Structure 1
Amino acid sequence: MTKRGDSLEFAVLGLLHESPMHGYELRKRLSGVLGWTRMLSYGSLYPALKKMLRAGWIIEHVEPPAPGAPVSRRQRIVYELTPAGDARFGELMADAGPASWEDDSFDVRFAFFSRTDMEIRLRILEGRRTRLEERLSRVQSQLTRTQQEMDAYTAELQRHGVESVEREVSWLSSLIDAERSRSSKS
């Protein structure tokens, strides 16, 4: 997964792996998976669904309005995972390459960790931690070199960024320790 669209595809397949859903419900659940910082529009969701329909990963069923519903109510389209979509989700779940620990896809991958193999979870967590440690090292050295040139607010923003990455590295380390502890008990 390298682009936001790939993360969206992964998230849709993961949610439909749980159960069929109509577009509104899917969008609502995706907002939870993708996080509050990435608002999902129907303009992003429906083209992604059409792409997955063409690929044969999902199918759609028209759900008629419930008896007694207002006449103006449109029929709902319910999306369901196909065996090919289930296989595609499995492929994406098994991918533990560098794209899986990048900013655009890590949160989505993490949302489905309960269904991810422990070795793959560890590889992704360790890759993410390494990537952030590299970023932290670059930012800290840059901050040291340029701190005299910055105004107080820019320096504070840089310090805040460093602290945020340090917190995430610490969090990732505790998750990795917990994974290793579970694996040694099994």
Structure 2
Amino acid sequence: MATKRHQLLEFAVLGLLHETPMHGYELRRRLNLALGPFRALSFGTLYPCLRSLVERGDITESASPATTSRRPRIVYELTDPGRQHFAELAARSDDGAYEDDGFELRLAFFGRTETSVRLRILEGRRARLEERLAQLREQARLGTRDTWASALHRHTEESLERDLRWLGELIAAERGAPAVRPGSLTDPNHPAFTPPPTHPTTR
């Protein structure tokens, strides 16, 4: 059975090839630069994935014309079954789509995802981060920390609050609704709401 990381890699490869045919070097470069889960991707991981997709018929491979300065490269292209497979994967909104690596990857291909699926993923991600924020604040209430642990706690809390506001804006844009969900931890009327810190201005 394919591992979760391998499944994410297959989805990423199919999504990138949906744009245009690419050779392995270009695929690796795009995966390293643009997609968080694969910023340290090696050819030893990429090429077995490509072979698996070729064997399944999701992509085809062909040699590009050779030049005097280099050997011909193998170019990979998406097939019609590959497009269908990608569409099926993009239509899923299970728990894996809300986790850190899965969410970032799904977001990268939201342009090829239906609105209803985008909303389910965004709302699922928001609920997951709200859980983390509530747990973090509970830990702060119960425990004591030294200066460095407190600084890390504040940074994590501020990052979660910032991400929740961003998700609220994305969801609002999809639904034409207010950016802050009433009753959530980022709602100023919530009893546990913590306003963002203010920083003194410098003159």
TM-score category by the smaller chain?
0.7 to 0.9
RMSD over aligned Cα atoms? 1.9
Question: Which one of the candidate residues 127, 146, 151 is aligned to 1:156?
Answer: 151
Q: Partner of 1:59 in structure 2?
A: 60
Structure with a larger share of its residues in helix: 1
Q: What SS does the corresponding residue of 1:166 show, helix, strand or coil?
A: helix
| Residue 40 to residue 2, structure 1, CA distance change in 2 (3 Å) | same
Match of 1:16 in 2: 17
C-alpha separation between the residues in 2 aligned to 1:60 and 1:85?
13
Stretch of structure 1 that moved more, 31-40 or 150-159: 31-40
Asked if 1:129 is matched to 2:126, the reply is: yes
Contact 2:28 2:43 in 1 (8 A): yes
Q: Which has the higher contact order (CA 8 A, sep 6+)?
A: 1
Describe the SS at the equivalent of 1:123.
Answer: helix
Q: In structure 2, what is the equivalent of residue 181 of structure 1?
A: 176
Q: Is the 8 A contact 1:57 1:86 kept in 2?
A: yes
**Deviation, structure 1 residue 52:** 1.3
Structure 1 residues without counterparts, runs of 5 or longer: none
Normalising by structure 1, we get a TM-score of: 0.87
CA distance in 2, matches of 1:165, 1:115: 27
- For the residue of structure 2 that corresponds to 1:158, the secondary structure is helix
Alignment check: 8 A CA contact 1:2 1:99 kept: no
Matches within 5 A, 1:90-109: 90-109=87-106
Cα deviation for residue 36 of structure 1 reads 8.6
Which residue number corresponds to residue 71 of structure 2? 74
* d(CA) in 2 for partners of 1:144, 1:2: 38
> Residues 2 and 135 of structure 1: is their aligned pair in 2 closer, same or farther, counting only changes over 3 Å?
farther
The one-letter code matched in structure 2 to 1:103 is: D
Identity of aligned residues (%): 53
Q: State the 1:2 CA deviation.
A: 7.7
Unpaired runs of at least 5, structure 2: 178-203
Q: Structure 2: how far apart are the matches of 1:38 and 1:129?
A: 24
| Residue correspondences, number | 176
Is contact 2:33–2:39 with CA below 8 Å preserved after alignment? Answer: no
Structure 2 distance, partners of 1:155, 1:9, is 40
For residue 83 of structure 1, what is the aligned residue in structure 2?
A: 80
TM-score by length of 2: 0.80
